[in-house]
Amino acid sequence: MVKHQRRYGKRLDHDEKLRKKEARSVHQNSKVARQTHGLKAKMMHKQKHAEKVQMKKTMKNHSERNVKKDEEKPDDSAALPTYLMDRNEQRDAKSISSAIKQKRKDKAARFSVPLPKVKGIAEEEVFKVIKTGSKKQKSWKRMITKPTFVGENFTRKPPKLERFIRPSGLRMKKANVTHPELKTTFQLPIIGVKKNPQSPLYSQLGVLTKGTVLEVNVSELGMVTTGGKVVWGKYAQITNNPENDGCVNAVLLV
């Protein structure tokens, strides 16, 4: 049906016919309910009952949206743990709803980066062709001409197996990260490259270009979560062109 509609479109009176069919469906269902008997009738009535109960619950929740309720008081005979002491506060459906919405916004904010759009870089600019072999005929190796990040215990593959060469002079280990709220810059160690918007291959190789999202070690800043745990790693986005400046400047995503 969907395929037919895509090819040939709909009738001019399609929406009107659909509306009339839905309006008639009430009478049709009523007729079926009157004529059905036996096990089929029992199943139908059970389904209708469940629908009515669900509708009543929805209506009740809607009417109680702005009604404030006290938490149920626990039994006084039992000792109350310390983490439950402050839970006798008022709670209403609207505040819970807004709290959930706020959590969703916070979750979405993690992906809202300072540089949403980045200029594309051609592969010819990033990779330089290296010819190998005694007669320099094979050209299957590539040298990366942009700054890169490699892990702490990184060791190069044997020369015959190495596909991408990352020069040691272009390897970066630290980034100048600016905290947007404190307006202060810290030099922090890079833990890894989370995503390079240019290409998944660049993310895998750890190529550092403008707009790349890094993971940096923020344990020195003393940042803590709401639970009181020290934050170890946080994401930051590169805001400069490291190949031009010789350093990595980034903004912390808070």
C-alpha 66, offset from chain centre:
32
> Is residue 146 assigned to a domain?
yes
Q: What's the number of domains the chain is made of?
A: 1
User: pLDDT tens digits for 86-134?
Assistant: 565 556 677 778 888 877 777 666 567 889 889 999 999 999 999 988 8
> Is residue 188 assigned to a domain?
yes
> Is residue 219 assigned to a domain?
yes
Residue 142 confidence (pLDDT) above 90: yes
Averaged confidence pLDDT in the chain:
87
pTM of the model: 0.57
The residues facing 250 across adjacent strands are 177, 238
User: pLDDT tens digits for 161-220?
Assistant: 999 999 999 999 999 999 988 889 999 999 999 999 999 999 999 999 999 999 999 998
> Is residue 8 assigned to a domain?
no
Please list, in sequence order, all residues whose beta carbon lies within 8 angstroms of the beta carbon of residue 56, skipping any fewer than 6 positions away: none
Q: What is the domain extent for residue 207? A: 123-252
Kindly report the CATH number assigned to the domain that includes residue 146. Answer: 2.40.10.310
Residue 37 confidence (pLDDT) above 60: yes
Q: What are the E-state strand segments in 74-148?
A: 91-92, 127-132, 138-144
